[in-house]
Structure 1
Amino acid sequence: MNKLKKHKLILSRRLNQNEELKKIASIENKTLQNVLNAFKLAKTNTHKKEDIIAFNNCETYRDKLLIDATEITYEIFSLDETALVQDICRKAASKEKWCRFLYYMVKNTENPNILEIGTNLGISGSYMLEAMKGKNGKFITMEGLPQLCSISAAQFSTIVSPSNFEVVQGLYDDTFPKVIEKDITYDLIFIDGNHKKEPTRDYFNALKSKIKQSAIFVFDDIYWSDGMKETWEIIKKDSNVNFSMDMYEQGIVVIDKNESLPKKHFNLHLSY
């Protein structure tokens, strides 16, 4: 029944998508148009040569992970469990089309500062860093598992200078307050590390004060659970939010401190 509801909802969005895209295109807001352009580019198979090279680099890295039998332990979470890198990659890494979406949003931002909560194996981070090449910006990403931090940092250093990224290792309860204290404001924040209602809401509330004049928030797995659905409803109705997009797999909100238009919400679908 849940799968039936999901596909019915997605079908409805796909049928109405052109009208939604026209509505978004009619709004003169630079940050919102960045999201729209990234969405359109991610859906197409027509890319510039430099983008294809970047995508191939990232997918080559993914392919290596998918055959990596390194064992990862979860001791930091006080769990007597292990998992292979290849299984973590298969189950938890961001899908290619969603990574392209992130890539294009970063690429279309001048000298972007980015925060990612949930490094995992660094695939989405690799896409965003590929998009940052040649720019002055900073990519900060948070991860609990030390081994995943090491794997990701090694990959990131093949893309950009270590001065352009920071992998923050540790339990989020310990590291998030330290990240918040950093003297940096963000253009893009990708929250993908904790799929629970209260932490996701708390991250958003704390990070609203750590953005530039305008910024994009990306929330992964907004339909993961009833708690995440409730959190997404709270976030998109927040008084600071100007525009929101429900893409089913992800939720996007734009906060622009200079925008005077009434709050607007859109329903889109990028990929299954």
Structure 2
Amino acid sequence: MENVEKLRNELKKDHQIIDLYDLKEKRNYRKTVSSLAQTSLSTPKFSAFIYLLIDHLKVTKVLETGTSLGINSLYMAGPQLVKKLCTIEASPIIASIAKKQFAKLLQHKIAITEGTIQDKFEALIVKEKPEFCFIDADHRSVHVKFCVNHLMKHCPGIKCIIIHDIYWSEDMQKGWDELVQDERFALTVDLFQAGLIFPHIDMPKQHFTLRF
């Protein structure tokens, strides 16, 4: 995915100032695109891992919450079998930047929806029935559980759910611990920066912590 990494490097050099709104803190703030790229994007190693996992699981439909600048979106849309990636972004300005990246690569595979997960998530998964979901929009456990529960309700073919930043806060860690204990999930994996749930694997309940 060398072309995606070129876009990442371009974003890190983009000093455009953008106005943002923090949904959790309910406040406006300003950042440069470059600082957002430095602090908000997954590492190339983790992005490549997601690509390989989607490829290994033979996923055809992907859903992402929290588009950010679009780098992970491009990685997840990259595997040959992926026909469509749907991604939700609450910030119009960030969504517009991501769309510019999609216009350069894989635009035909990616559909971006502007809005919050509370407003857009359920209707989107009912329509699209994703097989893989990357949750990274709202770092509050109540919203993570909202997504997980709706995926289990509406997406019988879901193969993997990734929850990013499971140690972001005590609240996120507690929410992740509760999902690990949830009897619905036979296999869960802790990579520290993210938690993996495999909902429909037929095996005795197990949990693994891996150094990544």
State if a TM-score over 0.5 links the two structures: yes
The 1:253–1:148 alpha-carbon spacing in structure 2 relative to 1, beyond 3 Å, is: same
Q: Hey, what does 2:121 align to over in structure 1?
A: 176
Partner amino acid, structure 2, of 1:102: I
Residue 144 of structure 1, aligned match among 80, 90, 96: 90
Partner amino acid, structure 1, of 2:102: F
- Rounded to whole Å, the distance in 1 between the matches of 2:129 and 2:137 is 20
Corresponding residue SS for 1:178: helix
Corresponding residue SS for 2:171: helix
- In structure 1, runs of 5+ residues without a counterpart are 1-53
The 1:222–1:75 alpha-carbon spacing in structure 2 relative to 1, beyond 3 Å, is: closer
- Rounded to whole Å, the distance in 2 between the matches of 1:209 and 1:165 is 24
- Rounded to whole Å, the distance in 2 between the matches of 1:253 and 1:136 is 20
Note the 1:122-133 alignment, pairs <5 A.
Answer: 122-131=70-79
Q: Hey, what does 2:34 align to over in structure 1?
A: 86
Q: Hey, what does 1:268 align to over in structure 2?
A: 210
Asked if 1 retains the 8 angstrom alpha-carbon contact of 2:185 and 2:205, the reply is yes
Asked if 2 retains the 8 angstrom alpha-carbon contact of 1:143 and 1:171, the reply is yes
Partner amino acid, structure 1, of 2:67: T
- Rounded to whole Å, the distance in 2 between the matches of 1:152 and 1:65 is 10
Between Structure 1 and Structure 2, whose CA radius of gyration is higher?
1
The 1:233–1:136 alpha-carbon spacing in structure 2 relative to 1, beyond 3 Å, is: closer
Report percent identity of matched pairs: 26
Once the two structures are TM-superposed, the CA of residue 161 in structure 1 deviates from its matched residue by 4.3
Q: Hey, what does 1:11 align to over in structure 2?
A: none
Asked if 2 retains the 8 angstrom alpha-carbon contact of 1:129 and 1:159, the reply is no
Taking only aligned residues, the RMSD between alpha carbons, in angstroms, comes to 1.9
Note the 1:45-56 alignment, pairs <5 A.
Answer: 54=1, 56=2
Once the two structures are TM-superposed, the CA of residue 111 in structure 1 deviates from its matched residue by 5.0
- Rounded to whole Å, the distance in 1 between the matches of 2:166 and 2:58 is 28
1:167-190 CA deviation, whole Å, 9 max, x = no partner? 1112332222432442x2222110
Once the two structures are TM-superposed, the CA of residue 255 in structure 1 deviates from its matched residue by 1.0
Higher relative contact order (CA 8 A, sep 6+): 1
Name the structure where helix makes up a greater proportion of residues: 1
Residue 173 of structure 2, aligned match among 229, 251, 255: 229
Corresponding residue SS for 1:139: strand
Note the 1:187-226 alignment, pairs <5 A.
Answer: 187-226=131-170
- Rounded to whole Å, the distance in 2 between the matches of 1:256 and 1:247 is 20
- Rounded to whole Å, the distance in 2 between the matches of 1:136 and 1:96 is 20
Partner amino acid, structure 2, of 1:92: S
Number of positions where the alignment pairs a residue of Structure 1 with one of Structure 2: 210
Once the two structures are TM-superposed, the CA of residue 262 in structure 1 deviates from its matched residue by 1.5
The 1:76–1:244 alpha-carbon spacing in structure 2 relative to 1, beyond 3 Å, is: closer
Once the two structures are TM-superposed, the CA of residue 210 in structure 1 deviates from its matched residue by 3.3
Once the two structures are TM-superposed, the CA of residue 75 in structure 1 deviates from its matched residue by 5.0
TM-score by length of structure 2 reads 0.91
Asked if 2 retains the 8 angstrom alpha-carbon contact of 1:215 and 1:255, the reply is yes
Corresponding residue SS for 1:227: helix
Once the two structures are TM-superposed, the CA of residue 212 in structure 1 deviates from its matched residue by 4.2
- Rounded to whole Å, the distance in 2 between the matches of 1:195 and 1:99 is 19
